[in-house]
Amino acid sequence: MKHICTFIFCFVFFNTIFADIFDEKTNISAEKIEYHQNLNEVTFFKNVLIESNIFSIKANRATYNNNKNLFLIKGLPSVIKSNNSNKVFSGVADEILLFSDDKVHLKGNANIKIDNISISSKLIIFNPITGKIFSE
């Protein structure tokens, strides 16, 4: 019974905090999910798939930290692609960071193709809704 309550709490907690990052329905699947109450984070392991109307991400691991309002996705590599026919993009990176300000960071060996332009860098920051690329 304790595991069922923990799973239900984790599921409700995660859907609530994830809704704060994206203003739409987002589906997440993984082979294993863990909630770390002391760290205030949820971690997804193995065959992680994050899907929304804006994009899809495939990775090995994804962690949402509620204290930092940050979603960290790791893979070898992690793959992101557009689900919006008005703004088509695809990219790969060692890490993908999702922030509450609609910015996505591709870190490590990062590559993105957006509007028929290919970019490779150690850090690529872009808005998946508008396609705008930022520099820091």
User: Residue 19 maps to which CATH number?
Assistant: 2.60.450.10
pLDDT in tens, 31-71: 999 988 888 889 999 999 988 888 899 999 999 888 887 88
The average pLDDT across 74-92 equals: 88
Give the confidence band of 8 by pLDDT, cuts at 50, 70, 90: very low
Domain count, the chain: 1
Query: How far apart, in whole angstroms, are the C-alpha atoms of residue 3 and residue 58?
Result: 27
What lies within 8 Å, CB to CB, of 116 at 6+ separation is none
Domain membership of residue 80 as a residue range: 2-134
Other beta carbons within 10 Å of 129:
16
pLDDT of residue 129: 84
User: Any idea which residue has 């820091």 for tokens?
Assistant: 136
Read off the tokens for 86: 């008005």
pTM of this structure: 0.79
